[in-house]
Structure 1
């Protein structure tokens, strides 16, 4: 923390620096000083209880009616946890800074694809694609997430299976595509079924483990941070 405090003395006003430590701690510094960011300090609930987000662009109320084009946020995913499967109304891009996994429903093949992510891997997910993001590791996982058009407070930010099933009754009929958020055109029955498939896969296979090689790499990464991090 001492090195971050020294940095505060040279930063121009308005500039912010984040240090994302391998142990899950987030250090923040601006002209006013340095501190550790936590769930009670400038973090919002991130879809599920125990997951948190800090907005860098846009805010939780971003929407087509209140646009900022996109939201960009720092997320903290709890150890050995996964988000409830969902689909976003806009495109979704996630940079993983740890050992993560993403379950994606492939509509064309009619099955769930599992993608293991490593530190520095970035995944881009089209709008309305059912998916779930998980932290395979035993420490908090940092991610950088960008969504086009929607903030967390918007009803179309993260549509879960429960919400999709509720909307089936609203639309009165089903359509053929997941590729649109039009309340009439979106097939909420197909969306709900796809999300349930991801839920069942998570419940039977679990989140996934961190391999021996990944654990060794994580130890080396923490050692590198000790040498390279702020002093």
Structure 2
């Protein structure tokens, strides 16, 4: 690894690209931020994340205020629709989409995302993140109060239905049947499709920029 002796001790530089590469540089060296040994499961099988703040055990009982992590998605994949117990910020570093449930209209809507676009998603709002590209997608995700091991980190339709019929009842004022219905609607929404020709041209330009501006 090549270090950067000009950095103060403890300072780290993160180089993240729309192509799905992630390098970490510090005074002591440079390495792959997506080292498999540092990755944790991320909602679905085959998806991963590296925690930057907090960890999988973060919860209201074991707080770190928030979790902040770098997510790694396979090409042309999507997360199972879910709802977080706390509010959620997600920054797309590639070509993605987010399916969201609009409670006022009682229907799912889709927001297409390009590199550098960030969403704020309120607590318990059903959603699903989608990678529209064929390559690896990086996302930065911040959740208030919950690590991925907490039962309320990502409530799926199946889990909401289980809680609705649990004996003894799950102790919550949340309307689990309504939540399950909304999550099903997000999952049944039309696909946002892949990348457009203009987006493919923009991606090619970004790749050139990475070669010209990326770490030496």
Deviation for aligned residue 1:41: 2.8
**1:218 — aligned with what?**
203
Distance in 1, matches of 2:72 and 2:7, equals: 25
- Find 1:74's aligned residue among 65, 70, 73: 70
- Find 2:178's aligned residue among 179, 190, 211: 190
- The gaps in structure 2 that reach 5 residues or longer are none
- The gaps in structure 1 that reach 5 residues or longer are 174-181
Distance in 2, matches of 1:169 and 1:188, equals: 9
Q: How does 1:78-227 map to 2 (within 5 A)?
A: 78-170=74-166, 183-201=171-189, 205-227=190-212
Corresponding residue SS for 1:225: helix
Structure with more of its chain in helix, by fraction: 1
Corresponding residue SS for 2:30: strand
Q: How many residues end up aligned between the 2 structures?
A: 216
Q: TM-score, normalised by structure 2?
A: 0.94
CA offsets 1:108-139 (integer angstroms, 9 cap, x no match): 11100110011111100000000000110111
- Flag the 1:39–1:79 CA change in 2: closer, same or farther, 3 A: farther
**1:177 — aligned with what?**
none
Tell me the C-alpha RMSD between the 2 structures: 1.8
Contact 1:81 1:207 in 2 (8 A): no
Distance in 2, matches of 1:38 and 1:169, equals: 40
Distance in 2, matches of 1:30 and 1:73, equals: 19
Deviation for aligned residue 1:10: 2.6
Distance in 1, matches of 2:171 and 2:85, equals: 11
Deviation for aligned residue 1:28: 1.8
Distance in 2, matches of 1:22 and 1:113, equals: 24
Contact 1:82 1:207 in 2 (8 A): no
